[in-house]
Amino acid sequence: MDNAQKPTKVSDDIVVSMDYTLTVNGEVVDSSHGRKPLEFIQGRGNIIRGLEQELYDMTTGESKQVSVAAKDGYGEVNPDAFLTILRNDFPEDIQIITGQQNQLGDQDGHVYNGIIEKIEGDNVHVNMNHPMAGKQLDFSITVVDLRLATPTELQHGHTH
C-alpha cells in the first residue's frame, strides 16, 4: 500500500494499533506494555464505547489520557445481576470458593461469568456484573499505527 492510501487519523472502519495502560482507583489493572499493541477496527464496538469515542481524529504517535465513566465503560452495577444459586445446581467438579470467578451456564446453553461473593449454607451468592462495572476507567493511550481494514476484516467485524 502506498502512503497516499494509509489513513492519517482514526475514523470508522480503520484498524487502530494502540498501546494502553488501564488504571482503576490509581492501580494499574491492564496494560499492553511488554506485549503487542491492541489492534481493533474503530467504530465496530470492539472496545468499550467511552474509549472508542475518545480515539476519533487521533493520529499515529499521538498520546492521550482518557477517563471513561462507568456508564460508558462496563456499565453501572446492576442490582438484578446478583443471584442466589443452590450449591446442588453447580457441577460436582467445580470447587465453590468465595472470590472465585466461574463460568456459569443457563438452560439454553449460554455461558456467563460470575464471581462467588459468599456462601451461606446451601445458598451460593454470585455477582454476575462485570468486575469493572461501576468503576471509572483511566487510560493512558498511544496510537501506534493506522491502516485500512481488509474487506474480510470489515465483513467479520474484527481484525485478522
- Give the domain ranges of the chain: 14-74+133-156, 79-127
Instruction: Reply yes or no on domain 14-74+133-156 having CATH 3.10.50.40.
Output: yes
Q: Are 15 and 1 in contact (CB under 8 A)?
A: no
pLDDT for 55 equals 98
Q: Are 158 and 16 in contact (CB under 8 A)?
A: no
- Nearest Cα to Cα of residue 103 among 94, 95, 112: 112
Walking along the chain (160 residues) 10 residues at a time, the average pLDDT comes out as: 77 98 97 97 96 98 98 95 91 87 82 92 94 96 97 93
For the segment(s) 79-127, the CATH number from 1.10.10.10, 2.40.10.330, 1.25.40.10, 2.60.40.1190 is 2.40.10.330
pLDDT for 3 equals 55
pTM of the model: 0.83
